[in-house]
Structure 1
Amino acid sequence: MAGRILLSLILCFVFIHGHAEPPEDTRQVIQELFPSATVIEDQLPDLPVYPVYQLQELLGYAYVSTEFSKLQGFAGKPITMMIGLDTRGRFTGVKVLHHYEPVFHYGIGEQALTDFVDQYEGQSLTEQIVIRSSGRSGKSTSGNVVYFDGVSKATVSILIINDSVLSSALQVARQKLEGFAQGAPTRARQDYFEPLDWDQLLERGYIRKFRISASDVEAQVGRPLSIYPANVEPDPGEPFSEVYFAYMNSPMVGRNLLGEERYQTFRDRLGDNGNVMMVMSRGTYPHIGSDFVPGSTPDRFGLNQNQLSIELRDLNWLETSHPLSVPGMPDMNAINLFRVGGNAGFNPGAEATFTMNVVLARNHLISDTARFGFPLAYSDDLFETVEVTGGPEFVRDPIWIGLWKERWWQISVLVVSLSLLTVFFARQKTLTRHPKLVRRFRWGFLFFTLFFIGFYAQGQLSVVNIYTLFLAIEDGFSLNVFLLDPVIFILWTYTFITLFIWGRGLFCGWLCPFGVLQEMASWLGRKLKFKQIKVPDYWHRKLILIKYPLLLSIVAASFYSITLAEQLSEVEPFKTSITLFFVRHWPFVVYALGLLAVGMFIHKFYCRYLCPLGAGLAVLGRFRLFSWLERVKRCGQPCQHCRNECGINAIRKDGRVDYNECIQCLECVVILRDDSQCVDSIIRNRQLRRGAQILATDAAEGQKART
């Protein structure tokens, strides 16, 4: 009888959890994410997640990231991950199943990728995860922001992974986890406005006020404020901290605070996307500290909504010389505009939670902390409900926007330098009359290209970018994937435009970091008095064709296998030399150094004969609109001076410039402008002198005849 009862219970348990199980390899990965799991069910019919149980207790869900996020990686294909999320919204782990990111496959190694994704284990969706390009991981003093140690050589790939993990986890949490559901979305009413003073805005709930008294803080820390070295004890009747929140997207709030003209400027600058909150405070402990960096995330306070941490980032748009316009407003110690949202999104008409973290240092080693939480909800009058179709989506800025903001100064320096280079090339006919100026500018710019564009900003273009473009077109083109690296995007845009003006040479001769290394290797070889090998013209014309089949092979292979294409693209030494600073497995280092060594004897050997990127640029460069390098009648007939001086052998015997091979070093133009070097100038000057002598002789003889 007991055996029958036990069998019935087993059958009942199997019936309850008797759904089909996932494939064995998938099951093994999920088991690693949930070590205590006893039952792993197949994907649910309504959502592609795998429910995971310990006996009859639901532990959480596992899912494949690409089922929810198709964000393309640096190689143009999504990074596929298995992600575990428990019932409280905490990550049980992240496992990378498949990816095509070349920097990990053939660069810094897979361990760097594994170490990064391991940081998600134990972290919660209620926390704001911030990626640091370098430095240690850890939590902020508020405990609401978690800093992940990024991979400095793979910034784009890492940020794509983080965005994919968070956005997919939010979609799962909002549909399957209790407390994470998102209410009906709202937006500010744009037709709702009347002039109000400060007190009226507060009374109607259009601006929210939160007050923390000295006694509130002392009650939490258990000590009087007078013992702390920092003078944080307020005057009698004054608050310890008084914080105000104003939702600036609402005209009722924004127009009253800023005034009509400044609010319109604010709206024009903000555009249609993004939520902005003005945060103001007075008292001895404002909402930001004296060490707050404009444009960064605050660490003294935070916002949560639906258990999710809301990202706050200072816009740094306020001019301190222009006070707010609303009558009756008290003096504030600090005022900031914060963009609100991030991956979690933000619903302005729904209730959120404002948390204030007070950290008081007793000495340089010991601090006391007090944490306060307040509900933040505005008057319903300010908002209207937005009708949505489809699933529970959330509005957030594309990931590339944050990347461009983070690297704004690199972008500024690059744009200024490219503008300067453009002016230099546009005025080359005038400037090449000054050989010393041209050579100094060229070498100065080459150093800038190598150390800033290459080593620092990692702006080395590659044949990988070419086949990524073709794959993106095949898969449904999206500009977002190319905007992920602002330096690369700007360089490609500039290079593409200048191909039709000056040809391939502007990039290859001035903006390619590895090209600069070859230029330096050639200079060093000449200084060391190494014999410079001049490849015979017959063999040179055949060898320059090698790079074209290399380009075709790599692009064709990318449609068959990304892995094969990445392996073939290792013909480029760029990753080894520029991205990884020669810190790589020894065969790659030997190959890159070998090319530079050959370049000490044969000028720019790799550029001329092996570079598939140069081949791709040369193909487009054939459609250039102008031939800027001036030639004269005697060039090549009989003068061969420019041809003999051209280290890259881009001038033919008849004097024509081969723009497919020319690197626009401008040496031939300098020679043409130099009366002491150009044969045409020498002959013309000689003829002028002879003509002058003949005229002088004739004049002398005429004078003698007259006398």
Structure 2
Amino acid sequence: MAGRILLSLLLCCLAATPLRAELSDDTRQIIQELFPSATIIEEQLADFPVYPVYQLQELLGYAYVSTDFSKLPGFAGKPITMMIGLDTRGRFTGVRVLHHHEPVFLHGLGEESLYEFVDQYQGRALTEQIVVSSSGRSGRTSSGNVVYFDGVSKATVSVLIINDSVLSSALQVARNKLEGFAQAAPTRARQDLFEPLTWEQLLERGYVTRIEVTAADVEQQLGRPLSDYPGNLEPDPGEAFSELYLAYMNSPMVGRNLLGDDRYQAFRERLGDNGKVMLMMSRGRYPHIGADFVPGSTPDRFGLSQNQLSVEMRDLNWLEAGQSFAAAGVPEMTAANLFRVGGNAGFNPGVESTLTLNTVLARNHLVVDTARFELPVAFPEELFETVDIAAGPEQSRAPMWVGLWKERWWQITLLVLSLTVLTIFFARQKTLTRHPKLVHRFRWGFLFFTLFFIGFYAQGQLSVVNIYTLLLAIKDGFSLNMFLLDPVIFILWTYTFVTLFIWGRGVFCGWLCPFGVLQEMASWLGQKLRFRQIKVPERWHRKLILIKYPVLLAIVIASFYSLTLAEQLSEVEPFKTSITLFFVRYWPFVFYAVALLAVGMFIHKFYCRYLCPLGAGLAVLGKFRIFSWLERVDRCGQPCQHCKNACGINAIRKDGRIDYDECIQCLECVVILRDQNQCVDAIVRNKQQQKQARILATDAAGA
């Protein structure tokens, strides 16, 4: 009996012990690479998914898998899994990619560029503001707070997702396990607190923080007088070298007094619920921004940190030059900016933060001196109230896609304008096709725009990858945020989806597909070089156009079984090789893409007609179009075959009907129909009218 009781107690103890993932040899080896001096790597903690790493008895830091903390989906719809090392001071010891499905790296640029990107994290710290730059800029700014990582061309979305996953996961680990990174009770601005105040009253009560850096402070750090530096940096008597003013604009007591009732109301509506904004103004010889500051960007002369974490600051560009303020007595400022504050680390306005100001002065074109100042910033407690539950990083800051849309605003504007023009052109096609030269010139002009702007520059090539990514997203829990990460692709897909139900697949395939344009140009070149143009016999053509449908089906089915297999099958598309990578790729892929274009010089748009799985997917949806816009008349196909013979893609049947599943809406048949010298129906009708006129004339003469 006693034995049974003892066995029962033992089983209860075992059941109460949480199971932990066993540390495999491969995982141990990767963590050892992240912490070369480690002598002990413990199993993953039961209460928090990190691996403690020691050198003898000294804790070096923690290793963890990114997807245990952040499951932000990548471009292919699945998270990028990384092993990340973080030491006890909040510095990255390294990042290793364990698994990913990013097509541009797997079957495009190659994984080496991915590894080079993540290698940039080694030695960087959470106390720095890490910004991914698409301009090739890298390194630390003069303020010492912002660090620019060199992004990967053609893979902007992927590297931004990696950066967000690395920073947000590291932040959770730091706040849970590292000293000094713990979060204070969150606060927010009180909305019921307001009374009219002057500028002096705002300063006296501390609602606007004033920070002064004198010439003596700067000279002491530099170790030399300001007169040694060109640019007239010595302030006048009574003038500060740098006089800074900071104000938290979410507080009505501050923002409403400075902007006035109407402008503050407009400011709040424009900001929304989650944005946090700091006003920064300055005057003196060294303002908070330099003459080369780009509106809408991150400042490089100063930075803000809180709880040892760098706070992201980005100019909103909402103030006009020489902006006036409502509070009486506001002095004239050299510069004033509204900065959105937050980022992965978030920002707690009721807790003290630190402003880091770096004065970077050049003695000559070779020698530059820097003086660094860390200045406390704190606002009165009465401006804030405690919030019960802290908002997570994803709630306390704008979604990642918002910044991407702002950054690419001019590309978006140009794309939307071009699509508007194309829509007007199609809506008025019956009128415009009466002018063949105008139609041909517009078409070729738009095709060049599609190839060079939408394709090569904006990387707006739609792909079958987008189709199975959407299906997987619907299966796993749809989130629009993932698709908004690439504004050009999102706008093109939205436009294509809408026009599928109006005109069918032809609007995209004939006008907006960059590789389709390359095929069109290859066909034109083949004709100019007098290559024999091969007409595929009708019975074979009708069979060959069906090939692309099982290709599409195979890729979609494979994506639910294995994304890796689906990615390999999707290489039937030459888009990545030709448009994304400019034919700079491993030779079999280049040979395949060039071969398709070469065949297209003899068989018009060979790939588009017979192999394209994207075209197949669009054709399926295009069957639900509302209108059949391409006009036909009684003699079309009976007996006239002129339009059919002129249709390079063979989308017109012998009986004159348009095959909208294959039609690319080039409008050539409509031009012929409107041309009195080409359309057989018009020619016959004209002859009949002329004959009738002669008969009437003869009868009139006889009478």
TM-score normalised by structure 2 residue count: 0.96
Work out the CA distance in 1 between the residues paired with 2:42 and 2:542.
64
Residue 567 (structure 2) aligns with: 566
| Cα pair 1:20 1:41 within 8 Å, conserved | no
Residue 555 (structure 1) aligns with: 556
Structure 2 residue 181 is matched with structure 1 residue 157: no
473-482 vs 166-175, greater mean Cα deviation:
473-482
Aligned pair in 2 of structure 1 residues 423, 190: CA closer, same or farther (>3 Å)? same
Residue 351 (structure 2) aligns with: 350
1:55-75 CA deviation, whole Å, 9 max, x = no partner?
Answer: 111000000000000000111
1:248-286 CA deviation, whole Å, 9 max, x = no partner?
Answer: 111111111111111111111111121111100011111
| Cα pair 1:642 1:668 within 8 Å, conserved | yes
Residue 381 (structure 2) aligns with: 380
Residue 77 (structure 2) aligns with: 76
Work out the CA distance in 1 between the residues paired with 2:477 and 2:516.
33
1:77-98 CA deviation, whole Å, 9 max, x = no partner?
Answer: 1000000000000000000000
| Cα pair 2:282 2:335 within 8 Å, conserved | yes
Residue 659 (structure 1) aligns with: 660
Work out the CA distance in 2 between the residues paired with 1:134 and 1:572.
29
Structure 2 residue 170 is matched with structure 1 residue 169: yes
Amino acid at match of 1:300: R
Residue 204 (structure 1) aligns with: 205
Residue 11 (structure 2) aligns with: none
Amino acid at match of 1:161: I
Residue 191 (structure 1) aligns with: 192
SS at match of 2:227: helix
1:147-199 CA deviation, whole Å, 9 max, x = no partner?
Answer: 11111011111111010000000000001000001111111111211111101
Work out the CA distance in 2 between the residues paired with 1:181 and 1:416.
48
SS at match of 2:678: coil
Work out the CA distance in 2 between the residues paired with 1:581 and 1:642.
35
Aligned pair in 2 of structure 1 residues 647, 390: CA closer, same or farther (>3 Å)? closer
Deviation at 1:137, TM superposition (A): 2.3
Work out the CA distance in 1 between the residues paired with 2:634 and 2:232.
83
Residue 6 (structure 2) aligns with: none
Residue 705 (structure 1) aligns with: none
Work out the CA distance in 2 between the residues paired with 1:612 and 1:176.
49
Aligned pair in 2 of structure 1 residues 216, 322: CA closer, same or farther (>3 Å)? closer
Deviation at 1:655, TM superposition (A): 0.6
Aligned pair in 2 of structure 1 residues 392, 238: CA closer, same or farther (>3 Å)? closer
Q: CA RMSD in A?
A: 1.3
Residue 28 (structure 1) aligns with: 29
SS at match of 1:326: coil
Q: Residues 606-617 of structure 1: matches in 2 within 5 Å?
A: 606-617=607-618
| Cα pair 2:70 2:168 within 8 Å, conserved | yes
Deviation at 1:391, TM superposition (A): 8.2
Deviation at 1:227, TM superposition (A): 2.2
| Cα pair 2:651 2:659 within 8 Å, conserved | yes
Residue 300 (structure 2) aligns with: 299
SS at match of 1:130: strand
Work out the CA distance in 2 between the residues paired with 1:401 and 1:372.
32
SS at match of 2:522: helix
Amino acid at match of 2:487: P
SS at match of 1:152: coil
Residue 367 (structure 1) aligns with: 368
Q: Residues 106-121 of structure 1: matches in 2 within 5 Å?
A: 106-121=107-122
| Cα pair 1:77 1:99 within 8 Å, conserved | yes
Work out the CA distance in 1 between the residues paired with 2:609 and 2:39.
62
Residue 11 (structure 1) aligns with: none
Q: Residues 188-267 of structure 1: matches in 2 within 5 Å?
A: 188-267=189-268
Amino acid at match of 1:678: C
1:315-347 CA deviation, whole Å, 9 max, x = no partner?
Answer: 111122651111011110001111111111111
Work out the CA distance in 2 between the residues paired with 1:241 and 1:27.
52
Work out the CA distance in 2 between the residues paired with 1:608 and 1:394.
46
Work out the CA distance in 2 between the residues paired with 1:642 and 1:394.
58
Please list every run of 5 or more consecutive structure 1 residues that lacks an aligned counterpart in the other structure: 1-18, 703-707
Amino acid at match of 1:484: L
Deviation at 1:20, TM superposition (A): 8.9
Work out the CA distance in 2 between the residues paired with 1:604 and 1:490.
25
Deviation at 1:396, TM superposition (A): 2.1
TM-score normalised by structure 1 residue count: 0.95
Work out the CA distance in 1 between the residues paired with 2:301 and 2:534.
66
1:361-394 CA deviation, whole Å, 9 max, x = no partner?
Answer: 1111111111111111111111111111798987
| Cα pair 2:274 2:395 within 8 Å, conserved | no
Percent same amino acid at aligned positions? Answer: 79
Work out the CA distance in 2 between the residues paired with 1:37 and 1:153.
37
Residue 60 (structure 1) aligns with: 61
Residue 541 (structure 1) aligns with: 542
593-602 vs 467-476, greater mean Cα deviation:
467-476
1:181-229 CA deviation, whole Å, 9 max, x = no partner?
Answer: 1111111111211111101111111110001111111111112112211
| Cα pair 2:128 2:310 within 8 Å, conserved | yes
Structure 2 residue 402 is matched with structure 1 residue 397: no
Amino acid at match of 1:667: E
Work out the CA distance in 2 between the residues paired with 1:318 and 1:391.
29
Amino acid at match of 2:470: L
Work out the CA distance in 2 between the residues paired with 1:90 and 1:668.
65
Q: Residues 262-661 of structure 1: matches in 2 within 5 Å?
A: 262-320=263-321, 322-388=323-389, 395-661=396-662
Aligned pair in 2 of structure 1 residues 333, 636: CA closer, same or farther (>3 Å)? same
How many residue pairs get aligned? The number is 684
1:102-133 CA deviation, whole Å, 9 max, x = no partner?
Answer: 11111111111111111111110000111112
Amino acid at match of 2:593: A
Amino acid at match of 1:584: R
| Cα pair 1:21 1:41 within 8 Å, conserved | no
Residue 91 (structure 2) aligns with: 90
Deviation at 1:237, TM superposition (A): 0.8
Work out the CA distance in 2 between the residues paired with 1:676 and 1:37.
85
Amino acid at match of 1:479: L
Work out the CA distance in 2 between the residues paired with 1:555 and 1:21.
35
Aligned pair in 2 of structure 1 residues 392, 573: CA closer, same or farther (>3 Å)? closer
Work out the CA distance in 2 between the residues paired with 1:277 and 1:392.
18
1:427-486 CA deviation, whole Å, 9 max, x = no partner?
Answer: 111111111111111000000000011001111000000000111111111111111111
Work out the CA distance in 2 between the residues paired with 1:337 and 1:289.
15
| Cα pair 1:357 1:369 within 8 Å, conserved | yes
Aligned pair in 2 of structure 1 residues 239, 83: CA closer, same or farther (>3 Å)? same
Aligned pair in 2 of structure 1 residues 130, 654: CA closer, same or farther (>3 Å)? same
Aligned pair in 2 of structure 1 residues 600, 648: CA closer, same or farther (>3 Å)? same
Amino acid at match of 2:191: Q
SS at match of 2:314: strand
Aligned pair in 2 of structure 1 residues 677, 201: CA closer, same or farther (>3 Å)? same
Work out the CA distance in 1 between the residues paired with 2:391 and 2:196.
39
| Cα pair 2:345 2:393 within 8 Å, conserved | no
Deviation at 1:563, TM superposition (A): 0.5
SS at match of 2:36: coil
Work out the CA distance in 2 between the residues paired with 1:393 and 1:640.
61
Work out the CA distance in 2 between the residues paired with 1:436 and 1:80.
55
Work out the CA distance in 1 between the residues paired with 2:397 and 2:421.
36
| Cα pair 1:344 1:394 within 8 Å, conserved | no
| Cα pair 2:447 2:512 within 8 Å, conserved | yes
Work out the CA distance in 1 between the residues paired with 2:326 and 2:681.
73
Residue 691 (structure 1) aligns with: 692
Residue 17 (structure 2) aligns with: none
SS at match of 1:350: coil
Work out the CA distance in 2 between the residues paired with 1:505 and 1:394.
41
Aligned pair in 2 of structure 1 residues 393, 497: CA closer, same or farther (>3 Å)? closer
